[in-house]
Amino acid sequence: MSPKPPKRFEKPSIWSFILILIVLAFLVTGINNANITFSRITGGIMNIGDFLAQAFPPDFSRFGPIMSAMIETFEMALVGTFAGVIISIPVALLSSKTTNSFSFLRSLTKGAVTVMRTVPDLVWALLFVIAVGLGPFAGILTITIDTIGFCARFFSERIDELDKKPKEALESTGSGYFGVITGSVLPQATPSFVGTSLFALEKSIRGATVLGLVGAGGIGVELSAQMSLRNFDQALMIIIIILILVLVVENISQRIRAKYI
């Protein structure tokens, strides 16, 4: 007689079972609290229809001021991402085991990066609006922090994965720590850094368009104002301009990555 095949289903442990029950409870109460009804769904579709009916044709009469807000948004994203990427490089070197043998310092840096990444950007924006006031500077600071949270993590993971042999070969020449970093770690990691930075820029542009909702500058202020005033035709024009900018930046970024990375 041949041996028995493995069980079709492994009974979960008591803790897994409790966890599944908790998640299921939240799922059920969540659906219940959202008050999802058929009439609300159909009503919602009608309302979207109303919005589109009022929004078409989009109103381009305020194209000039809207474009200047859009440029401000792009600049916020660019400056914030640039600052974030530059700061991410030393932060990543401190977070990686390959380049930092002090485990305490490594944990400290990794912890700081985790905080930057896990706190949502709108929360950072609210904090920076309180700290430096309304306007694009708060937006730039928000994007900088958000970019560090994103880039420093991926940069340090890339450094951890690098081929260690060139590093050892350069150490063998009598090179110091910074020589090994500039001669081996950075040249090897640069293509990946550039790719990650371009992703960060795309992410920042998308993020920057909504930062205005909490007063952190950019086109979000305009969008929020036009929606509140129910000027849906102007709001649609803003949405179209945001869409074009995001698509253009994504397209350029994709081409750069395809060609050089």
Partner 1 sequence: MNAIEVNQIRKVYNQRDVALNGISFTIKTGESIVILGHNGSGKSTLFRTLTGFEEPTEGSVKLLGRGVDAGKRNHLRETRKKVGMVFQAFGLVDNVSVFQNVLFGALGQVKFAPATYSLFASDALRERAMECLDRVGLAHLSERRADRLSGGQKQRIAIARMLMQDPEIILADEPIASLDPKAGREVMELLKGIAEERNITLLMILHQLPIAKKYADRFIALKNGEVFADGDVTVIDENFETALFGNAGPEEASSDETSQHIEQEAKSS
50/168 with CB nearer partner 1: 168
Work out which of 169, 243, 248, 252 binds partner 1, going by CB under 8 A.
169
The sign of the CA dihedral 190, 196, 198, 200 is negative
In angstroms, the Cα distances linking 91 to 88, 158, 196, 227, 231 are 5, 13, 15, 40, 45
The rounded distance, in Å, linking the Cα atoms of 216 and 214 is: 6
Nearest distance, CB of residue 15 and partner 1, angstroms: 36
The type of residue at 166 is P
Q: How far is the CB of 151 from partner 1 (least distance, A)?
A: 20
The interface with partner 1 within residues 190-209 (CB under 8 A) comprises 190-191
Per rule CB under 8 A, count of chain residues that contact partner 1 = 23
Would you call 53 exposed, middle or buried from its count of C-beta atoms within 10 A (0-12, 13-18, 19+)?
exposed
Go through the chain and tell me how many residues it has. Answer: 261
Going by the DSSP 8-state scheme, the letter that residue 214 receives in this structure is: G
Contact call for residue 170 and partner 1 (CB under 8 A): yes
- Measured between its terminal Cα atoms, the distance across the chain in Å is 57
Site string for partner 1, 174-193 (x = CB under 8 A): xxx-xxxxxxx--xx-xx--
x/- site string to partner 1, residues 108 to 147, per CB under 8 A? ----------------------------------------
Nearer CB in complex with partner 1: 169/243? 169
Of 60 and 260, CB closest to partner 1? 260
DSSP run (H or E) holding 81: helix 63-95
Work out which of 50, 160, 161, 168 binds partner 1, going by CB under 8 A.
168
Kindly list the residues in this chain that would bind partner 1 in the complex (CB under 8 A). Answer: 163, 165-166, 168-176, 178-184, 187-188, 190-191
